[in-house]
Structure 1
Amino acid sequence: MRTDHWKSSTNVSLYDRVVERQRLARVMAWLLWGARLRSWYRELDDLGSMAASKSVLDVPCGGGVAFRGLRASVGPRYVAADLSSVMLDRARTEAARRGLTHIEFAQADVAHLPYPDETFDLCVSYNGLHCFPDPPSAVAEMARVLRAGGELIGTAIVLGAGRRQDAVIAKNRELGIFGRVGTGAEVRGWLGAAGFGDLRFRHSGAMLFFRATRNGSAGFH
């Protein structure tokens, strides 16, 4: 996988421009993945109330799509992290546009997050898992920095929804846009192995919506 694609390529902002435009994103998600995004945008709009009293890690933050639900006075801490400096620049611009002055920004590799164990109450990871070269390691890092009882909420593209969707995934992997893409069952296994329980999954075409709670002791080293 060409990880430099996500570190520096300005082409990554194309995804960001699409996802920011709800109507366009819903059309593209249906055409590419057979997925319906209406409930996802409702979840994003509700993030402000979820984050009101929580320390939040948003990784990968992309261009700040999750900011749409945040309030100016949200929570004790909100960290937006991404490997791509291009995405972080766009996220900073989006935060400024929305008057969100409290957000911390960090250029970070999700496989080696620069935070101590049990730092955050909530981790949101939208549309990132399928782009990571090593999703199990990424999920384990998210678990490590979450406190016991903390939640992971996210979305990912998965294999097995249909031949057309799997072909689009294969092409994205060939181009270096996607990393290791799993099936829904594999994602469930990654989460369980990382110490997450109370797994809640919903499939819409090739898009998986997931929630999980970090168990009391994940055995970090």
Structure 2
Amino acid sequence: MNHWRRARLTAMVYDFGITHEPIGRLGGRVLWGTDMRRFYRDLDRLHKAADGERILDVPCGGGTAFRRLKPGAGGYVALDLSPLMLRMAKERARRRGLHGIRLLQADVTGLPFGDGEFDRCLSYFGLHCFADPATALAEMARVLRPAGRLRGNAIVRGSGLRQDTWIRVMRRIGAFATVGTTGDLSRWLEEAGFDRVELDHDGAVAYFSACRAPTGPA
């Protein structure tokens, strides 16, 4: 995660690619063997969030998920470790008139919130950047209310030689940290205290959806 705290070039290249859908779709196909349209359609559904729903977006990056939010959206907290990403997210929110978004710099393994503060948590393209994704997921579960929903995706190992080679490259430069398999991701979610887990992958991108179990982690 320290790489993202200080790396300007990586952050800027990633943000430019992911926020320009044609480039993001090309990159997804070339690097990860995936059809990125699913990711963008997931983001497009965010505008249907119920009024008053409390949403945590972690890591928010440069505000990719803001693309379809309504200007009056309230209760939305966007968190990232990178000061540069947060500056880009702040500017993106300003351009879209999203004045109700709260932007915070913090570490996902120690979220600065009380238990059960959020109705929904979003985590897109972040888990593979964390040194300890299991702890990150446990923190996301902690700050969700019972039956609160987590939705996101992550890069995973084991989908093919080309994709695994790119993962090794990204780990070598410090952009990725702990990259698990789909089996690891399923286990991390369950051990964090999530149930009703739905998990599938397209190429090296795994999509997950789960609810915080009423009793929390075992």
* TM interval, short-chain normalised: over 0.9
Q: Structure 2: how far apart are the matches of 1:4 and 1:182?
A: 19
Q: Structure 1 residues 155 and 219 mapped into 2: Cα distance closer, same or farther (>3 Å)?
A: closer
Deviation per CA, 1:70-106, whole angstroms, max 9, x where unpaired? Answer: 111224x110000000000000000001110000010
| TM norm structure 2 | 0.97
Aligned CA-pair RMSD? 1.1
Matches within 5 A, 1:1-221: 3-11=1-9, 12-75=11-74, 77-219=75-217
Contact 2:138 2:192 in 1 (8 A): yes
Alignment: residue pair count: 217
Deviation at 1:52, TM superposition (A): 3.4
Q: Structure 1: how far apart are the matches of 2:24 and 2:72?
A: 28
Contact 2:72 2:99 in 1 (8 A): no
| TM norm structure 1 | 0.95
Q: Percent identity?
A: 46
Q: Structure 2: how far apart are the matches of 1:36 and 1:6?
A: 25
Q: Structure 2: how far apart are the matches of 1:131 and 1:171?
A: 13
State the SS of the aligned residue for 1:197.
Answer: strand
Moved over 2 A (4+): 50-53
Contact 1:55 1:120 in 2 (8 A): yes
Q: Structure 2: how far apart are the matches of 1:189 and 1:69?
A: 32
**Where does the alignment leave 5 or more consecutive residues of structure 2 unmatched?**
none
Q: Structure 1 residues 82 and 51 mapped into 2: Cα distance closer, same or farther (>3 Å)?
A: farther
